[in-house]
Every structure is written in structure tokens, then in C-alpha cells.
Amino acid sequence: MSVITVERIKLFSTRSPWWCMIVAAVLTIGFAALTTGFLKGADEQRATIFITQPGAQLSQMVMMVMAALAVTTEYRFGTIRTSFQAVPQRTALLLGKTAVVAFLAGVVGLIASFGAWGIGNLFVSGADLSIDTPAEWRLLAGQGLIFALSAVIAVAIGILIRQSAGAIAILILWPLLVENLFNLIPKVGDDMAQWSPFANGSSFLNQGQDFGLAGSQGDYAMGPWLALLYFAGWAAALLTIALISASRRDA
Amino acid sequence: MIEAKGLTKRYGATVAVDNLSFEVKPGKVTGFLGPNGAGKSTTMRMILGLDTPTSGDVRIDGQHYRDLRQPLTKIGALLDAKWVHPNRSARAHLAWMAASNKLPKSSVDKALEMVGLTSVANKRAGAYSLGMSQRLGIAGALLGDPEILLFDEPVNGLDPEGIVWIRTFMHRLADEGRTVLVSSHLLSEMALTAEELIVIGRGKLIAQSTTTEFVDRASGTTVKVRSPQLDQLQGVLNQQQLVTRIEDVEDQGKVLFVEGDTTTDQIGEAAAAEGIVLHELTLQRGSLEAAFMQMTGDSVQYHAHDEIAAVTDVTAVPPVSGAEVAAGPKEDN
């Protein structure tokens, strides 16, 4: 798998991916410290695993930025041409990049979620933070899958947009703003929001959790594993479009 | 061998490369010559499979670039020295290229050594001067020890030392029996580097020939003769149906110029037969610039204002004093 080696060397031979990964891990763990560290008395008793994870979405964004940059910087500096010259089988090369970036994002997702859970355990005494329901395992371990799949989406957007600022704007505005704005549209808005890709990513993680202090969450369009499949379907579809477009376009 | 057949690239209404057919012969340095914007880079990108031709195709030893499995071992290229990540070291840049074609790690050190970048290999490429970037680009092209090499304007923007280095390097590559295609708009550079020429203008082929033939055909050759018995010699040569004229040349007195299809051998022998003393007998070539201006005159895409163009024409007059150059561009091939 030479394309994996190629993309691994590329990614680790510049500094910004390292920074993104460190920032991503630190954000989730740091937020967990903030949300659990100041709990007192009765609130402390009500702490759940869920409240150790509020920083995860932010970390997910950071990893998406890293994933998009892994593509767009190649376009910006022209190395994509050197890459296509070295490996004219563009689909294989870009799949290699996607695999490397998604794997790393997944690992960072796991470090972030379990790290945050560990910090929560340190700060909270008296509440039960042990992982003992399948839903709790899904929340923590599933973070790895969600990070990896959102990295795939980010790579696809990066390939399609080819430009850092544009790709990052889409990747941040879409999950944070656009999907929430759907709710404001009368009649169809609720359905649109529920069927949005990132909403289903969250729904995979959140269903069946003890939200505790965080209050209740909205309705879900489908069960957790179907939601994950649906999110994965979006990632696969976007990546397919991106790969077809990259193969046809002039580099 | 690189073979292009009817290669055409259109961007909307603009035709960048127009029905271009040529061959790059193995084991030689071929110059790819044309004014700025003639379609040289586009053609090179199509050779490397980066751009898809609108019609026609180009093959490397009978294969399309996109079908090559380890392309760097077959054809190395430097299209733009800026195509490196500025925060990546030269070594890392070459390392991923080597990995992509399953080349041994030692090939990276070898390539760095060859272009003399070993001592700065771990510095980030963004800190390199243009000359160093160019060397890194060449190292990338040589990484897979390919038989064919493609260079796009390799001397552009380089200082004299860099130019000389590139020039000697090209000769070395050709001496090693490699096929080199090097594009340039600098004709004098091509005269020094290339044996063969492919000349294009506005995306169309203007000529494909050896460099010598190209200059000969475009501006002809003239034989310059100095002799104390000029008039007698002129008579002899005129009897042999040769076109001659005598001119006063500064510091040299009267000089006889013989034009057309002739050689110094023929004139020397004619003079010896008549016992005429010769002080000088030289073959003078038109410069490549003159030939080029004349052949591509109509095909320069962006013409300067007339006055400036006129000045350019004056400077483009070949050093052959008074040599008549055929008017109008010739359509060769």
C-alpha cells in the first residue's frame, strides 16, 4: 500500500497536522475539566458520562479542518500535480489520503472521548461515571467513528472546493449553523433537520444517554446504528463525487 | 520516445494547443521552443497526464501516462520548482515521491547528492532560493533514474551560475543517453543545449528539425571571405553560379560574401585551383533568434506596440552583416 506510506509521510512531515491533533485532543479533555471541575454538591451527584463530552464537537471541527487542509494545501502549493505525476491513478492516491486522514481522526476522537471521560472521573466524586451500558460505550467509542467519517466528508469537500478558506467555511457552517437553521423553516424544517447528515452523526452518539444536567435532546429520525449508516452514506456519496470530479478535472 | 498526434487543448473559445503532432527522439536533448503563451506548458502537462487533451493524444513509449505503473522510473519531470510544500523538508518531499513509486530510500540520498542539496536536505523547502528549488525539482525528476526527462523553462529566473549549472547538467543527462525534452522561450539557451528542436507558436507546430537545420533553413548561411585578390575570386565564383557581393566592413576592408547553397570547402578549393590567397574563410550562421523571430513572427500571441516591436526587430537582425533573410514566416514540416 504505497499510497498509504506516501500520505503518511506527507502528513507527518509538516507541522500543522500535529498541532491540529493536539488541539483537538486538548479541547475535549479541557472542556471536560471545565464542565466537571466546578460541580458542587447535588449537581456533582447528577454528573453523567454525557457531560464529560461537550468539547467533542469542537474537536471534531478541528479534525475536519485538518482533513480539509491535507487536500487544499496540496492544491494551493501545487504538490497535487507532483502527486498525480508520481501516482497517475488519482482515485487510488486520494483514497490513500482519505484512509490515512480518517484513521488519524478516529484515533484522535478516541483519545479525546476517553481522555475527557478520564478527566471527568478525576474531578467528580460521588457520581457513577463507570461505562456500563451499551449506550455509554457507543457514546465514547463511537466518537472515533464519527471523527473518522466527518474527516472523510472534509476530505471530499476539500477535493471538490480545492481552496482552504472555502472548504473550511463550508465544513464549519454546515454542521454548526445550516443544519440548525433548518428548524426555522415551517412544516418541512423539522424533517430536514432530522435528516441532516451531521444531526444523524450526533444522534448515533446521543440516543439513550443519561443527559443528566444537560437536559433533554430533540427527536431522532432513526435508531442509532441506522443513523450512523446514514451519516456514513453521506460520507461515501460525497467522496465518490469528489473522486470522480478529481479524475476528470485537469490538475 | 514521446509521440504526440493531433494534440489539441481548448479552454472555452481559446485554443491553447492546436492539432500538434511531434516526436521526441530517444537519446537526445530536444528543445521545445516557442514564445510565451505558445502552449508549451499545456503540452507538457498533457504529456504527464495532468491535463486531458480535448482531442488527439500523446504517448510515452506507446503508453498513455495515466496507464504507467511507476511513472517516475520511466519519465521524470520538472514543470514548476514551486510545487513543493514550503514547510516540508527537501528530504521529506523526495521521500514521499520515492515511496509512491516503491523506490529504495537510498534513491533520495542519491538524488540529493546529484544536485548538491545534501547539506540543506533537512531544511524546509520554503526557505530555498529559486536556484535551490530548481535543484530540488531536478532531484525529484531524477529520483526514479528515468530514461526520459521533461523540463519546463528550467533556467527561468536563475542567476548566471544557476544557468550554467543547468546547462551542464542537461548535457550530462544527454551524455548518459537519456531523452531530454526541455522547453524554453530563450533561443540562445536552446542553441547551446538542444540538438533537436520542436518549435511551436500559438499552439501550432512551426518546425521540427535539428537545431542546425532550423537555423539554416530560416536564415540561410553565408560564407565570408577575405582575400587580397577579391575581384579575381568573385569572377571565379560567379562562373560557378554563386551569388556574391563585396562589402566594405569596418576594420576589415573589403569583404566578399557568398550566399546560398555553398560550403567553405567549395570556395577554398575554387580559390586554390586559381592560386588565390585567402586571409579568411568562414561560414556564418544566422542566429537562432533571427530564425525564430522570422518563423514565429506571426504567431506571437501578445504583440507589443508597433514601436517596441520595431525595436525588437532591429535587435533581432542576425550578426551576418547584410545577410538577406527570406521575408515572411516559412511553414515547415
**Tell me, what's the ipTM?**
0.90
Nearest CA in chain B to A250: B51
Q: What's the confidence (pLDDT) of residue B241?
A: 82
Distance CA A20, CA A95 (A): 21
For chain B, say whether A81 makes contact (Cβ under 8 Å).
yes
**Whole-angstrom distance, CA of residue B153 vs CA of residue B32:** 9
Burial class (CB in 10 A: 0-12, 13-18, 19+), B100: buried
Q: What is d(CA B219, CA B216) in angstroms, rounded to the nearest whole number? A: 6
Under DSSP, is residue B236 helix (H, G, I), strand (E, B) or coil? helix
Confidence of residue B220 (pLDDT cuts 50, 70, 90): low
DSSP conformation letters of B247-297 = EEETTTEEEEEEESS--HHHHHHHHHHTT---SEEEEEEPPHHHHHHHHHG
Contact between chains at A77 and B140 (C-beta distance less than 8 A): no
Of the two residues B290 and B174, the one the predictor is more confident about is B174
**What is the assigned CATH class of domain B221-285?**
alpha beta
The reply to whether B221-285 shares the fold of B2-215 is no
**Domain boundaries along the sequence of chain B:** 2-215, 221-285
Q: Classify the phi-psi angles of B56: left when phi > 0, otherwise alpha if psi is within -120 to 50, otherwise beta.
A: left
- How do beta strands B196-201 and B29-33 pair? parallel
pLDDT recorded at residue B77: 96
Q: In whole numbers, what is the pLDDT of chain B averaged over residues?
A: 84
The contacts of residue B170 (CB under 8 Å, 6+ apart) are B29, B151, B154, B180, B182, B193
How many angstroms away from the CA of A132 is the closest CA of chain B?
45
pLDDT at residue B328 above 90? no
Q: Any CB–CB contact under 8 A between A16 and chain B?
A: yes
Record: contact A250-B92, CB cut-off 8 A: no
Please report the pLDDT score of residue B296 as a whole number: 67
* Chain B: residue whose CA lies nearest to A88: B66
| Interchain contact, B87 vs A16, CB within 8 Å | yes
- For position A198, what pLDDT does the model report? 94
Q: Give the pLDDT band (50/70/90) at residue B321.
A: very low
A251 neighbourhood in chain B, CB within 8 Å? 45, 50-51
Q: Cβ(A112)–Cβ(A27) under 8 Å?
A: yes
CB-CB neighbours of B331 under 10 Å: 11
The CA-based diameter of chain B, rounded to the nearest angstrom, is: 74
CB B257 within 8 A of CB B224: yes
B329: confidence class by pLDDT, cuts 50, 70, 90:
very low
Domain B2-215: give its CATH architecture.
3-Layer(aba) Sandwich (3.40)
Q: Using CB atoms, which residue from B65, B66, B100 is nearest to A6? A: B100
At B246, is the pLDDT very low, low, confident or very high (cuts 50, 70, 90)?
confident
Q: For helices B90-100 and B106-115, give the axis angle rounded to 10 degrees.
A: 130
Chain B residue at shortest CA distance from A85 = B48
All residues of chain A having their beta carbon less than 8 Å from the beta carbon of residue B65 are: 88
Give A47-58 pLDDT, tens digit per residue: 889 989 989 999
Q: Which of A118, A6, A114, A12 is nearest to A66 (CA)?
A: A12
pLDDT grade for A41, boundaries at 50, 70 and 90: confident
Neighbours of A221 (CB within 10 A): 16
**Least CB–CB distance from A77: residue in B77, B84, B100:** B84
**Are A26 and A116 contacting, i.e. CB atoms less than 8 angstroms apart?**
no
Q: What is the pLDDT of residues A204-235, one digit of tens each?
A: 999 988 887 766 667 788 999 999 999 999 99
Give the helix/strand (H/E) hosting B147: none
DSSP string of chain A? Answer: -HHHHHHHHHHHTSSHHHHHHHHHHHHHHHHHHHHHHT--HHHHHT--GGGG-TTHHHHHHHHHHHHHHHHHHHHHHSHHHHHHHH---HHHHHHHHHHHHHHHHHHHHHHHHHHHHHHHHHH--SS-----SHHHHHHHHHHHHHHHHHHHHHHHHHHHH-SHHHHHHHHHHIIIIIHHHGGGSTTTHHHHHHTSHHHHHHHHHHTT---GGG------SS-HHHHHHHHHHHHHHHHHHHHHHHHHS--
Name the region of B3 (left: φ>0; alpha: ψ -120 to 50; beta: rest): beta
Candidate from A36-40, A136-140, B104-108, B316-320 with smallest mean pLDDT: B316-320
- So what's the pLDDT on residue B76? 96
Contact B85 A79 (CB under 8 A): yes
Sign of CA dihedral A237, A239, A245, A247: negative
With CB atoms and an 8 Å threshold, state whether A9 touches B66: no
A7 interaction partners in chain B (CB closer than 8 Å): 96
Domain limits, chain A: 2-248
The 8 Å CB, 24+ separation contacts for B228-234 are B228/B277, B228/B279, B229/B276, B229/B277, B230/B254, B230/B256, B232/B274, B232/B276, B233/B270, B233/B271, B233/B274, B233/B276
Residue A57 near chain B (CB below 8 Å): no
Q: Cβ of A52: how many Cβ atoms within 10 Å?
A: 30
Whole-number average pLDDT of chain A: 92
pLDDT tens track for B141-192: 999 999 999 999 998 878 888 888 888 888 889 889 899 999 988 777 788 8
